[in-house]
Amino acid sequence: MVFMAARAIGTVTISFGLVSVPVKLYSATQAQGAISFNLLHKTCGSRLKQQYICQNEGVIVERDDMVKGYEFAKDQYVMFTPEELKALEERSTQTVDITEFVPMTQVDPVFYDKPYYLAPEKGGEKAYRLLTEAMQQTGRCALARYAARGKQYLVMLRPTEGGLVMQQLLYADEVRSFKEVPLNQGPEPKEAELKLAKQLIDQISNETFNPGAYEDDVKKRVLMEIEKKVSGQEISTVPADEGAQAQVIDIMEALKASLARPKQAPSAATSEDEHRVPKHAPAKKSETKKAGKK
């Protein structure tokens, strides 16, 4: 597989005390990983265009007649002009201002949002490496504020593979407390049950996470079915038999049976090329359409 060099999507400067670290910003994720379907007109197969309907008058509203509003009470809105909305936006500083360093284990992954890779700009290599290695050796990450696209973001800088990741974080009011979840943990586990559970964990444990060992089996199956449709074949619409859900009657017996099973390794990931839908000739017209033209 041929890997193309990533393209920077912007530049920022990390403010580390009185030290400035100019860096380039790269997206760490790929949107094309998801399979999407478009809405079409059933009779002719053309793409559909979204329209907005006024709930009060029942008429189609064009974009030139649309304004944004904030609902301050039930069905009561205050409207804003584009100029007013622009004035409300946070001014972009292109600076990542580090406010504190904390142990990396203290930031719960539930706060993680979108990640970005950071690479040093020309002239910033020494300061970039100094900050990276200092965080690596102290086991700490940096919490910082970053203003962009009219918003202020809370971000975390953490070392990885010799470089830095800027992890956008959710604010506290964006994350629900686990206390809101009704939780009934049941009786305290017996010592023998806990011992077998630990043995099972040890049996299927690894010291490293290898994301390449996992792949989206559902995505592969959907792409195969799409390929059939593209080539004019029909796909089965009979739902797969999920089988009866096994009920655990005796936890001890279930743990012992689990330990007796051979260890199963994750399925090896295939190349990206195997996931792509090959280009075929247009699908054959259905017999229904042919009949309609007679």
pLDDT at 103: 95
Instruction: Please give the chain's pLDDT, 294 residues, in tens.
Output: 444 577 898 899 999 888 889 999 998 887 666 788 999 999 999 999 989 999 889 999 998 999 999 999 998 999 998 888 888 877 777 889 999 999 989 999 999 999 999 999 999 999 999 999 999 999 999 999 998 878 899 999 999 988 999 999 999 999 999 888 888 878 888 899 899 999 889 988 888 888 888 888 888 888 888 888 888 888 877 766 655 555 556 778 888 888 888 777 665 544 444 444 444 444 444 344 444 444
Q: How many CA atoms lie within 13 A of 150 on its CB side?
A: 6
pLDDT at 258: 83
Q: CATH 2.40.290.10 in the chain, residues? A: 10-29+89-174
pTM assigned to the model: 0.69
As given in the structure block, the two tokens for residue 222 are: 């959907």
pLDDT at 86: 86
pLDDT at 91: 75
pLDDT at 157: 97
Q: How many CA atoms lie within 13 A of 40 on its CB side?
A: 8
pLDDT at 23: 94
10-29+89-174 under CATH 2.40.290.10, yes or no: yes
The residue behind tokens 């189609």 is: 60
